[in-house]
Structure 1
Amino acid sequence: MRRARGGLEMHDNAGMGGHVPVMLDRVLELLAPALSGPDRVVVDANLGLGGHTEALLAAHPSLHVIGIDRDPFAIDFSTRRLAPYAERITLVHGTSDQLASVLAQAGRDTVDGVLFDLGVSSPQLDETERGFAYSQDAPLDMRMDTEQELTAEKVVNTYSAAELTRILRDYGEERFAPRVAALIIKERAKEAITSTKRLADIVRQAIPAATRRTGGNPAKRTFQALRIEVNAELAAFEAALPAALDALALGGRVVVLAYHSLEDRLAKQALTARTRDTSPPGLPVPLEAHQPRFRLLTRGAELPSEEEVARNPRAASARLRAAERIRVDHQD
């Protein structure tokens, strides 16, 4: 299996489990112009099971990829999968917000491409014992890095009502956050909430019946919120994307695959800020220091094709944005 964040596209000839990442061709197309020369370097900031990295290494014979992932299983699997390219990969167990330090340790001031493939992986979703899925009963875990201490069980059973409400509202966009939080507090007082099934049942009880009839499983938003909290996903991405943009060489490109509106909003804000002319209004000549350092490569967020979504419903939520560095100066 390979990590596919929002989804997997089946492909008979993909090998290693038969999986191809969502929007793979578009990712390769967008990064290719930055990788045409010798000794180019790409950071795969969410390596997963190596699908994007494998395709990039195959397409660019002199490319070196630095892959980062917080899941030890992903690092182990990718190490085996990418063994034919062992001399052209550097795999690091860590989080994307450590990108700057990872590059420093690798002796790299700049890189030519950075890929973010955000969200939860397919193995994490499909392996019941990881506790990510509300459709299967499992321990409340949700850790991407199985070596960290904070789990969903600890969040659900120790956070205050106010903290739970904030997480559900901000990370899950759950409009009934206070009701869900209140019922969690009530139920955990009877007995600790330790399973995904019990939590999903509690959420279902807290959501008004009329609302439960539409919009899919009512626990979806709560599980998303807990997953983001446990893994500090948004905080990591919010720090990692500016670091990636700072590290890009002239002509370097960044591609972001997001799978929910919170991630996509952060990507849009960061890329828009770097592609805007900040010269004071009314000047007869634009100021060089205020000219944009990047240009957008996508108009808004690009979506997967209908054919891809039909083959793989998990791809439906994918949103792709990309930008290219067009200017450097002493300030960068």
Structure 2
Amino acid sequence: MPTSLPVPPDSALALWLAANGLDADLVRAVLATAVPLAQPGRAADEPEPAPLSPALVRRWCAEAFGAAWPALSETVRRTCADVAVVLDDGPGARPQIHDHGPDAAPTIKVPWRRGDARDALALAHELAHAVQIIASHARTPGAAMPPVAREVCAFLGERALLAHLRDRSEGCALRTAHVAEDGVYLGEDAATLGAAFADPQAGYDYRWNYPVARWLARRARELSDPGEAAALLSSGPDAPARLRPLIHAALAAQNPLPPVLARDEPGPLVAYRQIGVAAALETARGEESEPETVEAFYEALLDGLRESRLAIGLDEEARPFGWAVAGRDGEGRPQAARLAAPFGDPAAMEALAARRLEAAPAAGSAP
């Protein structure tokens, strides 16, 4: 945990903060909540994904980025098709991108050893950098985007690819690799940045940029909006002014509930956990919730449990963001008969409730 010592004005850390439009207290607040996700387990019989080709990953990125940032669709198409990519399988190879200014396309160099999920994420990361460079030069020729914002853009590219592949077999492997890399970005790199706050003599380390960027790409709900994300990618030197309010909003909206990491077998323990989570979410609604008796709350909750219509929404950090009891409207269409999402998107909770209803056994059927 970084200390609250003042940052010397002539230190490398002070210069880094100024270049990125950040202040020490804001970064300390981010580091206090920037923790890696729990790594998902891998089933023993889960097959190893077939090696991926760079051409296939480039095509996926074109589709994913185009869907995520439609305002930049032509820039995305040209970038993913035409930007030069050098593949390097050497032992010391690391991902790199070179910005050649507004009159020439950037060039990319990435490790490509096995064609596995980590190689694919590295290529997606650098292609997103390329989109950001080209889009920013189109808006402000020759002006560079500060590094924290650059890395936010690159991580948004990774997330766009994960979303695009969500329902494909390769998506699971990429998701597992992405979560594993949290251990570096939000673990080792966060510790490096935290240590710099306690050492006035610390020299600049580019890895300082990763924890804030990784955290913000995950936490800033506004960046899930295609227009907001495209505006950031195009913002060049103005990016810090866009990011600062997003950091404040993400900190203010932080979910205080603990992660639900247990995966219990069906039985009373699951029900007790779901009851507790729903009660905590209702409490979090505070004055937003409509007055009712405790009996009415538990009656709705128990009806949902008995009929397998209760849905609990978990965010990316496995923290509960909402709960709902699924039902049907007068025409038989799925709807949330009861819903609360104090720490997330009500529409996402509504969709989760509808999926829960589809999976629930039909009324009157055998268990």
TM-score (norm 1): 0.27
Q: Which has the higher strand share?
A: 1
TM-score (norm 2): 0.25
* Structure number with larger C-alpha Rg: 2
Relative contact order: is structure 1 or structure 2 higher (C-alpha 8 Å, sep ≥ 6)?
1
